[in-house]
Structure 1
Amino acid sequence: MTAQQPPQPNPDPDPPTAAAAARPAGRGLIWAAGAFLLGAFLVYNSVDTSADATTPQSRPAVAASASHRAATPRTDLALPRSAPKRLTIPEIAVDAPFTQLTLAPTGQLNPPPAGDTNLVGWFKDGAAPGERGAAIVAGHVDTKTGPAVFLQLETLKPGSTVEITREDGIVATFKIDSVETFSKANFPNDRVYSDTPDAQLRLITCGGAYDRKAKDYVANVVAFAHLVSSKRA
C-alpha cells in the first residue's frame, strides 16, 4: 500500500537555523495517519500544522506482521499496558520525558510540542512500549531554535539499546534491529505501522535532504526495535 499524498504544510517564512550543524535545520514534525492499521504516519517539517489523517484504530486486532523481522513472535516478553515516562538512549545521549500524542478534532495527529527540544511523543491510542504490538514514538530532529532530541537517531546501529521507563515502574529494554531512511513519497506504511504479535518499537523523525523550496525534509528516519528484557526501576 502506498503512502497517502501529504497536503501542503503551511509555509514558514523563516529560513532553517544554522544551529543544527549535522543537517540543515527544519521545523519539526507533522503527522499523517493513513488506512492500514496505524496508517501512513508521515513526518513533516512544520511545527504549526498537521497533515490530513484518518482516525487510527486505538486497539487494532493482531494481524500478520509486516515487520522486516520474520522471527517467531516473542510473546513471552510482552508486558501489560502502561504509559511510558522516560526514554533513554545512551549511545546518542538521549534522556527525555514523554508526552502523549493525540488526535485533533479534525482527525489529525498532533505533533510533539516544538517549544521543548528534549521531549518525545508517544501515540497513546496505539500499543504502549513493551506491550504486544508496534509502539510509536516520535521526536523532532530540530526546531526553529536548533537541534532536538532525535538529531542523531539515524546514527544508531543494530544492537544499540533503548530503555523506556514506564509508569508501572518497569524499565523495558529494546534492541535496535535496523535504522532506515524512507522517502516520504514512498513511505512503507505496512512495514512501519502494521500490528505485530510481539512487543516492538518504532522511533521516528525527519531525515534526508532539506528541501528549502518546500520547507520540508524529503524523508523520514525510522528505527525498528524489539523488546529484549524488562526490570523494575
Structure 2
Amino acid sequence: MDLRIRNPRAAAFSLVLAVLGGTVLVLGLLTDDALPPPPQTEALAWENVPAPSPSAKPARSAGKGLRRSAPARLEISAIGVSTPVTAIGLRRDGTLDVPPLRSDAPAGWYQGSPTPGEPGPAIIVGHVDTARDGPAVFFRLRELTAGDVVVVLRSDRTTARFTVTKVASYLKKAFPGDEVYGPTPTPSLRLITCGGSFDRARGSYRSNIVVFARAIP
C-alpha cells in the first residue's frame, strides 16, 4: 500500500483542519459551563433556591418605614430594568417559587417577606435567562454596583427607593439564608437571580446572585 503524500497543498490543508478541529474541541470544553441550558432541562433552571419556611418568615422589624403595600413595578435604570412585579410564594419543599420561565416574565415578590418600604428585607426574584428565549428580566443584575438606585412603585401609589450596598454570588449549596432573609431594623431589599457556572447535567446554575440594598431616606 502506497502511503506517500502526492499533493503537498492538500496535505497542508488537512493539517490546518486537524488543528482547528482540536482547537474548537478545547474551546468547547472550556466554555461548556457558560452555555445556556438545553431545552429539555429548561424547567430546572431555578432549581432549589432556598427560602424561609412558612413557619420562619422574615421578621418585620419595628423600625420606621412605609405601610404594607404590595410592589407593582420595579425600575433599575442602571441596567435597563423596568418590569411589573407579581406575588409568589413557596413550593411544597420550602424552596422559593418563581414567575413563569419566559424571557418576558415579570419579577416576583415573595409575599412572605415585607413589602418594599416596610422595615425588614423585601425579597424580589427574577430569571437570568431561558434556553428558548435568551436573556430574561434579571440578566444584567450582576452588573449592579454599590450606589446604584432601585425604585419600587407600590400598589398604593407610593414609591420606595433603595441604594445598592453589595452584590454577591453564592453557591446554592452554601446559600446564606440568615444574611439574605434575616430581619433588618430599617427597610431593605434583596434582589435574587441565578448565576455562576451552569450545571448541564442538572439543568441549573450552580450559584445565586444576590443584590443587597437599603432604603433611601
Which TM-score band applies after superposition, normalised by the shorter structure?
0.7 to 0.9
Indicate how the Cα distance of structure 1 residues 33 and 215 shifts in structure 2: closer, same or farther if over 3 A, else same. Answer: closer
Are 2:176 and 1:177 equivalent residues in the alignment?
A: no
Whether contact under 8 Å (2:102, 2:136) holds in the other structure is no
Per-residue Cα deviation, 1:17-62 (whole angstroms, up to 9, x for no partner): xxxxxx532444244445xxx3xxxxxxxxxxxxxxx425346364
Q: What is the match of residue 79 of structure 2?
A: 92
CA distance in 1, matches of 2:96, 2:198: 23
Larger Rg, first or second structure (1 or 2) = 2
CA distance in 2, matches of 1:100, 1:31: 18
Indicate how the Cα distance of structure 1 residues 224 and 107 shifts in structure 2: closer, same or farther if over 3 A, else same. Answer: closer
TM score, norm. by length of structure 1: 0.69
Cα RMSD of the aligned pairs, angstroms, is 2.1
CA distance in 2, matches of 1:91, 1:147: 17
CA distance in 2, matches of 1:56, 1:24: 38
Q: CA deviation at 1:107?
A: 4.9
Query: Which one of the candidate residues 24, 30, 36 is aligned to 2:35?
Result: 24
Per the alignment, in what secondary structure is the counterpart of residue 191 of structure 1? helix
Residue ranges of structure 1 left out of the alignment (5+ in a row): 1-22, 39-53, 63-72
Whether contact under 8 Å (1:206, 1:221) holds in the other structure is yes
Q: What is the match of residue 16 of structure 1?
A: none
Q: CA deviation at 1:116?
A: 5.2
Residue ranges of structure 2 left out of the alignment (5+ in a row): 1-33
Tell me which amino acid in the other structure corresponds to 2:178. D
Q: What is the match of residue 209 of structure 1?
A: 197
CA distance in 2, matches of 1:190, 1:29: 20
Per the alignment, in what secondary structure is the counterpart of residue 118 of structure 2? coil
Q: What is the match of residue 128 of structure 2?
A: 141
CA distance in 2, matches of 1:225, 1:112: 22
Q: Which of 1 and 2 has higher RCO (CA within 8 Å, sep 6+)?
A: 1
Aligned-residue sequence identity (percent) comes to 38
Tell me which amino acid in the other structure corresponds to 1:92. I
More helix by share: 2
Are 2:140 and 1:152 equivalent residues in the alignment?
A: yes
Trace 1:46-195 onto structure 2 (pairs within 5 A): 54-58=53-57, 60=59, 62=61, 75-76=63-64, 78-104=65-91, 107-115=94-102, 117-144=104-131, 145-195=133-183
